[in-house]
Amino acid sequence: MKYIREQKYDADKAELLCAAIKRYMIEAAKTKSEKEKVKDVTVQNLINWGVVKNIDGTLLPTNAFVLLTDNVFPFAKIQCALFKGTERVVFIDKRDFERSLYEQIEEAIREAIVNATTHRNFLDRACVQVAVYDDRVEVTSPGMLYGGLTIEQIKEGGSKIRNRCIAEVFSRMKIIESWGTGIKRMFSSCKEYGIREPELLEIGDSFRVNLYRPSYSEDYKGSLKSSLKSSPKGSLKDSSSTQQKIMELLRKNPSITQAEMAEIIKISKRAIQKNIKELVDEDIIERVGSDRKGYWKIKE
């Protein structure tokens, strides 16, 4: 990215950004040994990634540096709104997320927001918008698909990076796992949970992802709960395969950690946490004792 002439390099902000990147890298590591191998992130790393420019010995901030620190750009934010029904007519509530890009992502809907933020056109004087309806969540990103990509190509993992410095830092922080995989992961996750596949649309000069809400009936929830409790292999649909695997691990070892489950199942720790929360919310499992010394109990 270009450096900003009217902005001065701030060493304290650079130090905080380096620390945040390292913290994310440690949190993303699956084992203790992997965590211990994470090295300090330095200003030289920021220079190598293009986040900071070194011009004849003078350090200068790029647009990426500003977006990843104090983010003074008025349109580089995520606007979230809740609407009644299925149309953008009756407005219920609104919240804007205006901090650094990675903090915005942590506070909003993750996978679609990651893609919208990473690939948006920052020259467009519009914000990433998240609209929540009764039947769907609508994520709109300023800027059409970049570099001649088509919707069919991105469904197959095609990717061209508009904001390479942002993508580089997000990759190091494990916010994005690898370039070009986000859309495929969204489709895979929806299939796993039995949800209608996402709808990808180019609307004017914007790109939109519609994520449809599950419409489970109470009978279906009861059937799912019964199936999860009863059979080690079960007769569940593909939509609950991850939760089935979690349940099998809990039966074998009620004291197993979420990090260990993530390593065995080969998914992220965040995905484990999400599935565990759903199992708890459905009253299928409960935590007995403390996070450190307790264990998981399958409820009868």
| Tokens linked to 100 | 């650094």
* C-beta separation of 2 from 62 below 8 A: yes
Residue 207 lies in a domain: yes
Residue 186 lies in a domain: yes
What average pLDDT score do residues 133-138 get? Answer: 89
Query: pTM, whole model, 2 decimals?
Result: 0.64
Same domain, 151 and 241: no
Closest Cα to residue 226, out of 213, 240, 212, 214?
A: 240
Same domain, 109 and 194: yes
89 CB burial (10 A radius; 0-12, 13-18, 19+): exposed
Same domain, 128 and 90: yes
Same domain, 181 and 199: yes
Closest Cα to residue 64, out of 4, 148, 134, 142?
A: 4
Residue 59, pLDDT score: 94
Residue 166 lies in a domain: no
Same domain, 90 and 205: yes
Cα-based distances in Å from 114 to 23, 72, 218: 18, 20, 32
Same domain, 199 and 110: yes
Residue 37 lies in a domain: yes
Q: Give the ranges where the chain is alpha helix by DSSP (H).
A: 11-28, 32-37, 43-48, 63-68, 101-107, 110-119, 151-155, 164-172, 182-192, 218-230, 241-252, 258-265, 269-281
Number of structural domains, the chain? 3
Q: What radius of gyration do the chain's Cα atoms show?
A: 21
When mean pLDDT is compared across 55-64, 136-145, 214-223, the lowest value belongs to 214-223
The CATH number that applies at residue 291 is 1.10.10.10
When mean pLDDT is compared across 93-102, 106-115, 138-147, 236-245, the lowest value belongs to 236-245
| Tokens linked to 248 | 């099998």
| Residue type present at position 46 | L
Same domain, 186 and 293: no
Same domain, 207 and 225: no
Bridge partners (DSSP) listed for residue 140: 129, 208
Same domain, 237 and 267: yes
Q: Which of 84-88, 93-97, 204-208, 287-291 tops mean pLDDT?
A: 204-208
Range of the domain at 202: 78-159+176-212
Closest Cα to residue 65, out of 78, 50, 48, 79?
A: 50
Residue 226 lies in a domain: yes
Residue 275 lies in a domain: yes
- Written as one string, the DSSP assignment of 33-49 is HHHHHPPPP-HHHHHHT
CA–CA separation, 69 and 47 (whole Å): 15
Q: Is the pLDDT score of 192 beyond 60?
A: yes
- Written as one string, the DSSP assignment of 221-235 is HHHHHHHHHH-SS--
Residue 236, pLDDT score: 38
Report residue 277's pLDDT band, with 50, 70 and 90 as the boundaries.
confident
Question: Which pLDDT tens digit goes with each residue over 197-227?
Answer: 889 999 989 999 998 876 543 444 454 555 5
The CATH number that applies at residue 95 is 3.30.565.60
Q: Is the pLDDT score of 233 beyond 50?
A: no
SS3 239: helix
Domain end among 28, 47, 68 = 68
When mean pLDDT is compared across 114-128, 129-143, 266-280, the lowest value belongs to 266-280
Same domain, 44 and 93: no
Find tokens 């609950």 and name the residue: 240
Question: Which pLDDT tens digit goes with each residue over 9-48?
Answer: 999 999 999 999 999 999 888 889 999 999 999 999 999 9
Same domain, 133 and 204: yes
Residue 247 lies in a domain: yes
Residue 165 lies in a domain: no
SS3 298: strand
Same domain, 89 and 207: yes
